[in-house]
Amino acid sequence: MKKKMSYEKYCKCEDDHQKYGEILNVIDLYRGREGCLIQVLHAAQKIYGHLPLELQKFIADELKIPLSEVTGVVSFYSFFSVTPRGEHTIRVCLGTACYVRGGKKLVEHLIKTLGVDIGGTTDDGKFTFEIARCIGACGLAPAIMIDDVVYKQMTPAKLNTLLAGF
């Protein structure tokens, strides 16, 4: 008889079983360590793509902490997402220098080009579009980030060329 895994009550399809198994391995690495929740959540989001409520329940149960603690951390930090994210994340800096030098025009251009509002993900799952309050590249304004790469002195035309590469 096949042993039932602890995650089977949380995930419904076979594709999720592999991901939950990987997340369980991460949890096992951190189990019993004080203050490990954020590391587990980062790893879980990297594996699963986002942190739906069922996954948060699974993490809470496995770490033997209240669900409210997990949901509190997920909702507090903007890095965590409870909805599916795109393959790539575009962040437009709207810090003072970037805003003054054209950041707002980049936001308007992306809304039109991608067909999504701020915080949205394109229908094809390619991009999630976000705003950053400052990415620390004030001398390069206006700047954007795609994933973890900063692009400087961006214009709508440069942005079109850049996006075509993705």
Alpha-carbon gap, residue 65 to 33, rounded angstroms: 12
Total residue count of the chain as it appears in this document: 166
Q: What are the tens digits of pLDDT across the range 70-84?
A: 999 999 987 798 988
Q: Using the 8-state DSSP alphabet, how is residue 121 labeled?
A: B
Q: Are 53 and 82 in contact (CB under 8 A)?
A: yes
Instruction: Identify the band that residue 33 occupies on the pLDDT scale cut at 50, 70 and 90.
Output: confident
- In sequence order, the 6+-apart residues with CB closer than 8 A to the CB of 165 are none
Instruction: Identify the band that residue 13 occupies on the pLDDT scale cut at 50, 70 and 90.
Output: low
Mean predicted confidence (pLDDT) in 3-9:
55
Mean predicted confidence (pLDDT) in 143-152:
94
Q: What are the tens digits of pLDDT across the range 130-139?
A: 999 899 999 9
Instruction: Identify the band that residue 4 occupies on the pLDDT scale cut at 50, 70 and 90.
Output: very low
